[in-house]
Amino acid sequence: MKTLGIMGGTFDPIHFGHLVAAETARAAFNLERVLFIPTGQPPHKVNYKVTDPWERSEMVRLAVSANVGFGLSELEIVREGPSYTIDTLRALREALVDTELFFITGADALRSMLSWREPEEIIALTKVISVSRPGYPLQDLFETIEQYVPDHQDRIFQLKIPALAISSTDIRKRVKEGQPIRYLLPDDVKSYIELRDFYRDS
């Protein structure tokens, strides 16, 4: 059986929080690869204008290219309409029959997953790796999950990762305010943001 990690996100922009989550999960669960899948139109991000999907994807490409254990998939961008995780997981499940899928998600995203489409289906199609994230406690989250999916013991795993209080929202804000973003994300991504003049009037 092959193993594949799936790291979904808006990645606007990708940062070291995403990369450390993927790499820690890859090592802990012996995953052959982690596929980063930038969203096309995120259904839940309505209060700010998300950067063009191909540009977000380009930043992911720059960030993951140095790691042979990482890859990029543009399947959510190519697909029309809003990006629902469940559609992506179904497509991967069908395409990769002999592969065990691991869905990697931060504690905040897992919490909102309960309000996404068909959370039980997500757990049925993949094993979920719930990584720690500063500011988002896992404890009461698991009590909530208990109510939705009682038999989740061998389907959802908690993984403690090095705590990085970095978010894309904060990076966009910093760019807008002229604060430094160096050491929060890969240098190549920082250079690309400057080259394309992203986030300065976000």
Per CB under 6 A, residues contacting ligand ATP are 9-12, 17-18, 21, 105-106, 108-109, 131, 133, 164, 166-169
In the complex, the smallest distance separating the C-beta of residue 108 from ligand ATP, rounded to whole angstroms, is: 5
What tokens appear for 18 in the block?
């995403």
What tokens appear for 44 in the block?
């839940």
Q: SS3 for the chain, per residue?
A: CEEEEEEEECCCCCCHHHHHHHHHHHHHCCCCEEEEEECCECCCCCCCCCCCHHHHHHHHHHHHCCCCCEEECCHHHHCCCECCHHHHHHHHHHHCCCEEEEEEEEHHHHHHHCCCCCHHHHHHHCEEEEECECCECCHHHHHHHHHHCCCCCCCEEEECCCCCCCCHHHHHHHHHHCCCCECCECHHHHHHHHHHCCCCCC
In the complex, the smallest distance separating the C-beta of residue 98 from ligand ATP, rounded to whole angstroms, is: 26
94 vs 115 by CB, closer to ligand ATP: 115
In the complex, the smallest distance separating the C-beta of residue 8 from ligand ATP, rounded to whole angstroms, is: 7
150 vs 180 by CB, closer to ligand ATP: 180
59 vs 149 by CB, closer to ligand ATP: 59
In the complex, the smallest distance separating the C-beta of residue 169 from ligand ATP, rounded to whole angstroms, is: 3
In the complex, the smallest distance separating the C-beta of residue 97 from ligand ATP, rounded to whole angstroms, is: 26
7 vs 149 by CB, closer to ligand ATP: 7
CA distance 162 to 182: 18
106 vs 186 by CB, closer to ligand ATP: 106
